[in-house]
Each structure stands twice: as C-alpha cells, then as structure tokens.
A and B are shown apart, each in its own frame.
Chain A
Amino acid sequence: MTTNVPVIDAHPTVPGLPKNYLNCSRGFMSWAGTLDHKRIGIMYLIGTLLTFLAGGVFALLVRLHLWEPHGMLFTNEKYNQIFTLHGAFMVFLFVIPAIPGALGNMVLPLMLGAKDVALPRLNLLSFYLWLSGAVLATLAIVLGGFDTGWTFYAPYSLYTNQAVVTIGLAIFLLGFSSIFTGLNFIVTTHKLRAAGLTWFRMPLFVWAIYATAILQVLATPVLGITVLLVAFERLYHIGIFDPRLGGDPVLFEHFFWFYSHPAVYIMVLPAFGIISETVSVHSRKPLFGYKLIAFSSLAIAIISFLVWGHHMFTSGQSTYAMFAFSFLTFFVAIPTAIKEFSWVATIWKGSIALNSPMLYTLAFLIIFAIGGLTGVILGALNVDLHLHDTYFVVAHFHYVMMGSIALAFFAGLHHWWPKMFGVIYDETLAKIACGIIFVGFNITFVPQFIMGSQGMPRRYATYVDEFHGYHQVSTIGAMILGSGVALMVYYLVASLLQRKPAMENQWGGVTLDWQTPTPPPLENFYAPPKVTHEVYDYSTLDLKTLQRPVS
C-alpha cells in the first residue's frame, strides 16, 4: 500500500459544479486584463518558468563549454556573455520574482481568507513591469548581449561596448515590479486577514512573504538608483564610479551589495515559507517552534541589511569594517540554523507522507544544510580571503539559490499544483524527477566546492589542466540535472492535458488555502471564513472526509 495515495477520495472536483477562477471567463483579455490574484499568479508562473528554462539552457551551455580546459564551444567573449545571461536571467527574472510573484500571489490571499490582494490594479502593474523587464532583457541579447557578470561591477561595466544600459533599464523596471509586489503584500497582510486570524495564527508562508516584502520595499530602491547611476555614468560621464573621472568603483560595490545581500533573503525567505508549510502538512504535525521561526524571519530581514560588506572582504576595506561585517554574518547564521533545526524537529515523530512535495522538501532540507554550512565557512575572514571569487563561492550560492530556493519553489509548485489547477500530476514521474534533480544537482556542485578550495577562480572561460576532471564531473552532473528538470516540465504540462482530477484537500492541509473549493472560485471563498483554531492544528482534521469541520 503506497502511503501517500489517499484511500478516500471524498471530494473529487466534478465538472459542472459552480465555476472556478479558471473557467469563469474566457478570452485573451480576461487574462491580460485580469485583476484576480490567482490569474496574475498563473501568468507569473508561466513567465518565471520560461525564464528559468532559458537561464537553465545558458547554464548547460556554460557547463558544456567547460568540458575542455581551453573551452569547447565559444570564444571567451561569447562565454562571458553566456554566463552573464545565465546569472542575470536566473537572479533578476526567476529567483527574485518567482516565489512571491507566482506562489505568493496565488496563495497569500487564500491563506489570509481574503478575496484578493489589497491593491489588485497595482498587482497587475507589477506583472506588466516584470514582463517589460523580461522583454528588455531579451532585447539586450538581441542588441549584442552584455558581458559584465550579473554584478555589473564598475568600471568594467562602464567601459565595455555592450548593451549595459538596456539591461540596466530592464533591472530598473524589475525592481519596481518587486517593490510594488512587496507593498501590496504588506498592505494585504495588515488589512485583509480573516476574522479570527491573529498574527500568530498566520501560516508561516505568510510571515515569510511579509518579511520578504519589507526587504523588497526597503532594499530594492538602492538597486534602482545604482543601475540608473551606471546608465548615467555610461551616457553622460558624471564621474561617480569611473576612476578615470575621479569616481570610486568600490562605492559601486557597496551600493550593489547593500541591495544584493538583502536580495539573497528576498530570494530565500519565501523559500523558507514554503518549506514551513510543506514540512508541516506532509508530516501532519504543527510546526515546531512556530514563534521562533516567525521571529527569525524578521530577525533575518533586519540583520541582512548590515552584512553586505562580506562580499567585499578582499576589496581592502578597513579592518574595523571587516570585524563588524564578519561578526554580523556569523550572527545571521543563527536564525537560519534555528529554522533548519525546527523543520527537522517538525518531521521528527510526524506522520511523514513520502509524496513528491515532501521529497522536494527533504531534498531542500539536505541541500540547504550544505548551503548554509558552507556559508559559515565563507564568513570566516581569513578563510574567505582564500575562497572569495572561487568556485567554492559559486557552489555555495548554487546550493542556496538553485538547490534550496528552486527546490523549495518546486516543492511549493507540487504542493499547490492541485489547488491551482484542480488536477494532479503523475506522482511516479514526479518522484523520479525529484531523485534525478537531487542526484544531478549534487554531482554538479560538489566538485565545484573541491575545485574552489583548490583555487579555481570563477568566471573563467578556460582553466588550468589540473581542474579538468572536476569540471568534467560537474558538466555530467549538469546534464543529469537538466534532464530531471525537463522531465518535471513534461509531467506538469502533461497533467494539464490529461486532467486527472485532484481532490478538494489533496494533502490534508488545515490552513485556509485548503478550506476553499479546488480550484477556488473567483472570489476565493463562498462565505467569509472565520478562524477559530490555532494554525497547523491537525487534531481538527477529519481524516475520513478530509474536511476540517467548518466553524
């Protein structure tokens, strides 16, 4: 008997029942002009998945090129453009917007028991800003590409004769998309909670999205200003970053990381939120240390503004600055560790369903442990002086950004897929894909840790022979990883065509998102919901019918 296939299918979605948000209206404009948070979420989902696939293709090209020490496919110049595209697409178009834009939009109002987000028009505007950013970024490729790395360090980004201004503008627009989404979620969380939904009854996904939103609103403007300054510097030579004009390239690094370190948490906090949900639901157990997790999200949000200098330990900053930045970096490890321990403790003595969302979650927990722990290695000042800008750093942040954030996104996608579309994917294929992705991922990046500690610098189109073996293993791993992702895309798309109906409450969740019909109606709930229980109280779950008693 497989554990996770429910025996009792109490409430299959039956066609002909009251209309849901997917079939309540038809036609292009009913989507393009929609104010419904769920439809906007779906559009974000499609968009960010497409950019993820594009970024993934760039990644595979990078890995293929590195099969040979002198480079197999491209000239150095092309290679530099391709790794830049990989970074810029993944960071700005996928990792930052994907979870808040797609899953946050979809789930946050449901979890709060709201009809929609507080500012639906602003929400649609956010999406169109994202879309224009994506179009501009693609245009920048057509205009000849850009080869600055996703960090756009001055003065190289000021001198290179490529489409830096175009991509800068794209990032500027994407920044505003992010700010508006954040604003919207803050207001929604404050204003639209259902009756009885006190702050400490909010699901942790909401807490995480809320903490993220604060970061988005406070940090992103700095990025916007910085890319504008780069554009001005290129066009009008104002002399702020260009050392030839008396500017200071290190100032750029400060500006950039003042945004981009918090951005790491803009990316990872929503992932934490998803994991908090999936761990609890699929272990059928209240989250261990709920309050500590909620507060650690806020603590991370605040401290993360004060650690940006750890990206610049080699730039010759003063010893006092290094002291403070290193200290705070180690300090921020603590709330993160607390989260990891709490998730593991939640699983302990749970009722653990080994279905695909849970497998992705377990993969996350293992990979994130490595990603987080290697971050601690990098926080040590003298060790970082050796490891900085090597493949060790590359591997570390891929363990966090790809291995953790993308896997959490996949976990969330599998978790809420039945809720979003009312259909369920092929569970067996999903498990296989998860296994392939997990194995491929580790084969790709473990060798990069080794190379990095051996001194292999990052962003190298060619390399010394002694790293050949590691690079080849890494490339093989990337191909495995890529085929896992391809399989995932295949069965997800196939599930939409095969339309195998999902159940009302597919996994037995008790938060409000599982109290609405599946898929939800246009206005989410037929009657305003009321919350009378503590969050994650599975004792109220009637397992026979999979419905929580309506209060």
Chain B
Amino acid sequence: MIALLTQDPQAPVNYVANPAPAPVLDKWGQLPELASTFDHVDGLFYFTYIVCIFFFFLILGVLLFSVVKYRRKTWDQPAASNVTHNTPLEVVWTVIPLIIVMVMFAWGFKGCLDMTTVPHEASRNTYVATAKQWAWDFKYPNGSTSTNEVWLVVGKPVQFYLESTDVLHAFFLPSMRVKRDIIPGRFQSVWFTPTITGEFHLFCAEYCGKDHSRMYAQAHVVTQAEFDKEPWNPPIDETNLQSLIENGKRIFGQQCVTCHTVNGTGSVGPTWKGLFTKQGDQYVGRQREVIEGGQKKTITVDDAYIIESIKQPDQKKVAESPYDRNTMSSFANLDDKRIKCLIAYIKSLADN
C-alpha cells in the first residue's frame, strides 16, 4: 500500500496501521472477503462462475474427444458423418442457455435494485466524497473532514454523495462491492452497510490522468465508540514536540506523499530532506532558488517560506527543473496547528 503511494517503496511512511500483505497467489476465482451486506453479488458471481465452468468443460470435453477420436489418419479420409443440422438439438441448445441467462438477468437486476435504492438509515448518515486529481476529500455527517482516509461505523448504513472537481473518477470499494462513476456536474451517490471492522482499499476506478493509480484512500471500518473519538482528527498537543512531529508525519502521509518524499529522491515536487539542517540544536534552512513574479532570486528556507509554499504555492516557485514545471495545489484549508505539525516534521528530518 505504501508502495502504491510513493515512487520509492523504501520511503519511511508507515502511518497506516496494517502492513501490506505479502504477495499471494492463493485466491483463484474468489472475490475479496465480503465486508458489506451486498451478498447477492457474491451469490450471482459464484453461480455464473459454476455455470461457466460447466459449459467450458463441456465444450472442451467434446472438442478433445472429437480430436482424439476423429483425427484424420489418412489424407483421403472422409468425415464420419455428413449431418448438416439437427433441429431438436439446436432448439435445446438455444432454449437452455436462454433460460439460464434469463435467471442471471433477473437475479442481477434484483441485486442492482437493492444497490440503487437508498434506505432511510443510510440517507441519515451521509458523507461527501470529493474526488480531485489525485486525492480524495471526505466530509463527515458532522461537518469535519479528512483526506485520503475515511472512517466508517460497522453495521451502520452509510450513503456517499460523490463529487468531482475536475474529470471523471470512480469510487470503488472492492470489499463492499461498491462502484460508482463520479461525474463533474452530476449528482451521484452510493450506499452500503459495512459489516466487518478493518482497513479496506478505496480505489479510483475511472482513468483520470497521470496519477490515477495513486489516487488511493483507505477506508477504516470501526466500532461506534472508536468512531466517536474522531480518529481522523487526533488531538494535537502543541506543547509536545513529539506529538507535533507525529501528526506532521500523518498529514504528510495523507496529503503530501503523492508528490513529495522525505528520503532525498525527487518526485513530482522536491524532496523535503535537506530543507533544513541541524547545527547545534538550531535548525537552519537551506538556500533555495525560486521564481517570484517571473524573477529568479535566492532565499533562505524558513517557517514563513514553508507556510507560503503550502498556502500560496504559486507565489515562490522552486526554480529547479523539473519542479518548476509541476504545480502544487494550494492547501489553504490546513489550519495553523497542522501547518505547525508539518513544519516540525520537516525539521525533524534533519535529526538523524
């Protein structure tokens, strides 16, 4: 999962509690473990799967048998039969598949109705998911927000309003069997009821440009008690440096890691390593060539510069290629507390 978010698999970001599972090859023909109430998806999937396997082996069997039995032994061997049709047989193999697919159709449609009819409980527990190139913003029923991580209550039906600020995206929670395109300018929504606690992938399933594959969020399904602690908004103890650094690391992992690294290798934006160096117990900012209003100049990195870079990234652009060509969107919604955390984290990179 971390590897998904960063160019460099070694990047020391491990704010996500569960480590990525080792590569496995043991899930032949299975859906991921079902974590919502939409069990009809699995039911119909496995039913169709078995029907398909049956027909596949029927066809394969007849083919192999014929090839072995009726293989041409001499060049002038005629066919063993010259039958051109057989009406009863043809009726049978038209009607039986027709019946089977009509069953699948009805079953699938019924399931689809279930997935598109939003129950009352869900519409009273409404989140907003805003997709943008290439991140997810979530707004909870109580108005608070989080980015690239969302917390849900187990057993509580939930509805998501889906919005896009730019191009098409799609909201895809494989474990919940939920997928819906997000279309700029259109109202879209999905609902589901998470049934087990845990961490689940939330992918963007509709191609949306460069970092489509890095447009990833994690869905945490937790108990009501845990949810009430608002884990997306952990208390920040401003007097405790360690707490600041930890929160800074968390915010970095949620919002900045798509473009920045902390290990010295450049990504979309410059790495944060080396922005400050430690001299004694003072953090000293490096010299930075920036472009401001078309003018190139050299400045010293300090808190004010970092704050400006976050709130008005276009004000002073890093002059170094290729970062001068890439853009960073403004994070004006980050409050001073969190920016303080980020600065503490960036400085802490100079510690070792």
Contacts and interface: CB of A to CB of B under 8 A. Distances in A.
B179 A386 contact: yes
B40 A382 contact: yes
A290 B3 contact: no
Interface in A427-462: 449-450, 453-455, 457-462
A373 B24 contact: no
Contacts of A283: 70, 79
A24 to B, nearest CB: 32
Given A316-B186, A334-B94, A76 B75 contact: no
Contact of B105 (A1, A5, A379): A379
A538 interface: yes
B113 interface: yes
Contacts of B66: 344, 347-350, 352
A453 B28 CA distance: 9
B179 A385 contact: yes
Contacts of A23: none
Contacts of A473: 25
A465 B4 CA distance: 8
Interface string A340-355: 1110110111111110
Contacts of A532: none
A550 to B, nearest CB: 20
B184 A155 contact: yes
B121 interface: no
A539 B76 CA distance: 12
Interface in A138-191: 147, 149, 153, 155-156, 159-160
A386 B174 contact: yes
B218 to A, nearest CB: 10
Interface string A347-372: 11111111000000010011001100
A426 interface: no
A248 B186 CA distance: 9
B302 interface: no
A462 B71 CA distance: 48
Contacts of B67: 347, 352, 354, 362
A119 interface: no
B349 interface: no
B76 A69 contact: no
A463 interface: yes
Contacts, number: 330
A249 B70 contact: no
Interface string A529-541: 0000000001100
Contacts of B204: 457
B210 interface: yes
B183 A250 contact: yes
Contacts of A21: none
Interface size class, chain B: 35 or more
Contacts of A539: 78, 82
B85 A292 contact: yes
Contacts of A551: none
Contacts of B52: 373-374, 376-377
A189 B272 CA distance: 69
Contact of B104 (A248, A288, A379): A379
Nearest to B111: A382
B45 A453 contact: yes
Contacts of A11: none
Contacts of A289: 84-85, 90
Contacts of B104: 330, 376, 379-380
Contacts of B79: 283-285, 349-351, 538
Interface in A231-267: 243-244, 248-250
Interface stretch (B136-144, B146-154, B165-173, B277-285): B165-173
Given A8-B75, A69-B9, A338-B90, A455 B201 contact: yes
B71 A327 contact: no
A453 B188 CA distance: 24
A376 B4 contact: no
Contacts of B74: 1, 3, 7
B14 interface: no
Contact of B205 (A354, A384, A390, A454): A390
A466 B25 CA distance: 9
Contact of A314 (B76, B170, B214): B170
B40 A243 contact: no
Contacts of B211: 76
A337 B93 CA distance: 8
Interface in B176-213: 177-181, 183-186, 188, 201, 203-213
Contacts of A370: 56
Nearest to A347: B66
Interface stretch (B95-103, B234-242, B288-296): B95-103
Interface in A459-478: 459-470, 472-473
B112 interface: yes
B130 to A, nearest CB: 15
B73 interface: yes
Contact of B180 (A147, A314, A382, A454): A314
A466 B4 CA distance: 11
B82 A353 contact: no
Given A76-B214, A352-B71, 8 more contacts: A69-B4, A285-B79, A290-B85, A292-B85, A314-B179, A381-B112, A465-B23, A470-B25
22 contacts: A5-B75, A153-B207, A249-B185, A292-B85, A314-B170, A315-B181, A316-B186, A316-B188, A334-B94, A348-B66, A351-B70, A351-B72, A353-B72, A385-B178, A386-B41, A453-B31, A453-B45, A454-B32, A455-B201, A464-B4, A466-B24, A469-B23
Closest 6 interchain pairs by CB?
A455-B174, A382-B111, A380-B108, A543-B76, A460-B213, A243-B185
Interface of B: 1, 3-4, 6-9, 20-25, 27-32, 38, 40-41, 44-45, 48-49, 51-52, 55-56, 59-60, 62-63, 66-67, 70-86, 89-90, 93-94, 97-98, 101-102, 104-105, 107-116, 166-168, 170, 172, 174-175, 177-181, 183-186, 188, 201, 203-214, 216
